[in-house]
Amino acid sequence: MLTALLSLALAAAKDPLMTTLAAPLPDPLVMLDGTRATTPEQWRDKRRPELLRLFAEDMYGHMPPPPGNLTATLAGQDERYLGGKVTLRELVLHFGPEGTPPVYLLVATPNQRAGPVPAFVGLNFHGNHAVVDAPWVHEAPPSFDQTHPRGSGRNAYPIELITDRGYAVATLFNGDLREDKAGPPSGAQAMYPDCDWATIACWAWGLQRALDYLVTDPAIDPQRVAVVGHSRNGKTALLAAATDERFALAIPVQAGCGGTAPSRGTVGESVERINTAFPHWFCAKFEEYNEHPERLPFDQHELVALCAPRPVLFSNATEDEWANPVGQFEVLQGADPVYRLLGAGGLEAAAMPAEHVLVKSRLGYFIRPGQHSMGLDDWPAFLEFADAWLR
């Protein structure tokens, strides 16, 4: 029996004019003074800074500047990981004011390489020890009030699959930066009391600190680092790419409301629901739009537009109605004019693709059968998209 979401997706594929929006998405090129950006210079010099300010003021909060004092210490290494194919390292990153807790960064690089390789970096939910079963990798404290065994989350970042394709992969625990629970600021967030940044902004800032290290790693090409993440970590990945142009590509996975789905959407999680369930993810002003998200001076297509002209891939699952996959396709359509203005192409699909069909244009889309997860069913599409843009 077809799910309601799959039925909607099929209908949308037949009728490109179908919408899940309660109100039209704002024109991303119309500036606050009512004029429209018509040149790349107007976008870069005026409209883009406006949007960065609006997202900081009304949704995510203001991040502190880069700390400038990052150090990386090797905590452990296995140069013969996976039968000798991979070098696995864990580094301890220190940065920020004195007393900021360390962040543990797990990095896997293929041993067979002709030079620096492209890389993926993303947050994990349960600690680096859950990504691999190596006994020397730092064990994070329980997350979501549960203990997660070593290697229990290996499919989220399948190291062998990724490195066999010639990519490095790096990951860090989001809880090293800030606990994922409501309450007073913790971790790095607590060390900057004068900033109004919320949790997703703190996590995104932490991803940027991981990038600070990765661009110095001689095994990794600093111009070809992609950021990836699932669900709340996908929201974070998109924000990190939008606010740091060093990321070459972004793959937010099933990131839904507050990430890749429209705030004006009528399917799945709403602004009011997400602010009620996760009040620590966004700044307090975002709550003012709970009952009237159409009053927001922006929507998530403009967060995607802030990534332009860099490639962005949205990935979804047909049973994950909460993330509004159809609305996410509308978000890509809404970002398309900015990519076109910059001469970068855009979304080369008039309607949502069928399951397992990857739209590999600069603005990409992928949907598969299944539910809310990131794993072995997703990475072949991620790698194919990255091959198209990072090779």
* Phi and psi angles of residue 147, each rounded to the nearest 5 degrees, phi first: -90, 135
Find the catalytic residue in 138, 152, 372, 373: 372
* Phi and psi angles of residue 88, each rounded to the nearest 5 degrees, phi first: -110, 125
CA distance 122 to 117: 17
CA distance 132 to 111: 18
CA distance 253 to 378: 9
Q: What's the 3-state SS for the chain?
A: CCCHHHHHHHHHHHCCCCCCECCCCCCCCECCCCCECCCHHHHHHHHHHHHHHHHHHHHHCCCCCCCCCCEEEEEEEEEEHHHHCEEEEEEEEECCCCCCCCEEEEEEEECCCCCCEEEEEEEECCCHHHCCCCCCCCCCCCECCECCCCCCCHHHCCHHHHHHCCCEEEEEEHHHCCCCCCCCCCHHHHCCCCCCCCHHHHHHHHHHHHHHHHCCCCCEEEEEEEEEEECHHHHHHHHHHHHCCCCCEEEEECCCCCCCCCCCECCCCCHHHHHHHCCCCCCHHHHHHCCCHHHCCCCHHHHHHCCCCCCEEEEEECCCHHHCHHHHHHHHHHHHHHHHHCCCCCCCCCCCCCCCCCECCCEEEEEECCCCCCCCCCHHHHHHHHHHHHC
Paired residues of 349 in beta bridges: none
Closest CA to 102 of 145, 53, 140: 140
Find the catalytic residue in 143, 231, 263, 315: 231
Paired residues of 107 in beta bridges: 89, 170
Catalytic status, residue 231: yes
Q: How many CB atoms within 10 Å of residue 69? A: 11
Q: Counting every residue, how long is the chain?
A: 391
User: Which residues have a catalytic role annotated?
Assistant: 231, 372
